[in-house]
Amino acid sequence: MRAVVQRVSRADVHVGDELVGAIGVGLLVLLGVGRGDDLDQAHVVADKIAALRIFPDGAGRMHQSVRDVGGGVLVVSQFTLYGDVRRGNRPSFTTAAAPEDAEPLVEVVVRRLRDVGLDVAEGRFGATMAVTSTNDGPITIVLDTAVG
C-alpha cells in the first residue's frame, strides 16, 4: 500500500456539489492499494498513520501524533499513486489493485483508524473527487509497505 500523508489545518472532499468528508486540524491521507496488498499491510499503514509524530509539541518539535492533538483524518482512495511513467508519458496503472480488491482494504484502514479512537472522514471510493486542503508546515510523508 502507498499513502501520502499531509499534515493539514483543514481538508475536505466533494463529489460534484456534495461535501462527502471534511476535517479541521489533522491528516489528509491519499491512499493507494497495489496488487497483492493484504490485510496485514492495511493494518501496518493504519497503525503508522495513527502513530506518526508529525505535530509540534510546546517547543515546536514534531513529537505529537494526530491522536495527541485531537485531530481528524480524511482518507481519500487514490489508485493513481501506483501510476508508472518510467516508459512514456502516459501512466500505466497495472500495479494498482483492481477496485474490487482495493475497496475492502481501504475500508480496513478507515475502520482501524476509527478503532483507535480517531475521527475519520472519507472520500467516495471510485468517484471523481475534488479535494481541497491547507497543508500545515508543509509536512508530507510518503508511506509504502513495499519499501518497509
Catalytic residues: 78-80
What are the beta bridge partners of residue 142? Answer: 4
Distance CA 96, CA 146 (A): 13
At 35 the three-state DSSP class reads coil
User: What are the two backbone dihedrals, phi and then psi, of residue 60, each rounded to the nearest 5 degrees?
Assistant: 85, 5
Distance CA 75, CA 79 (A): 13
Distance CA 103, CA 49 (A): 18
At 23 the three-state DSSP class reads strand
Q: Which three cell numbers stand for residue 141?
A: 510523508
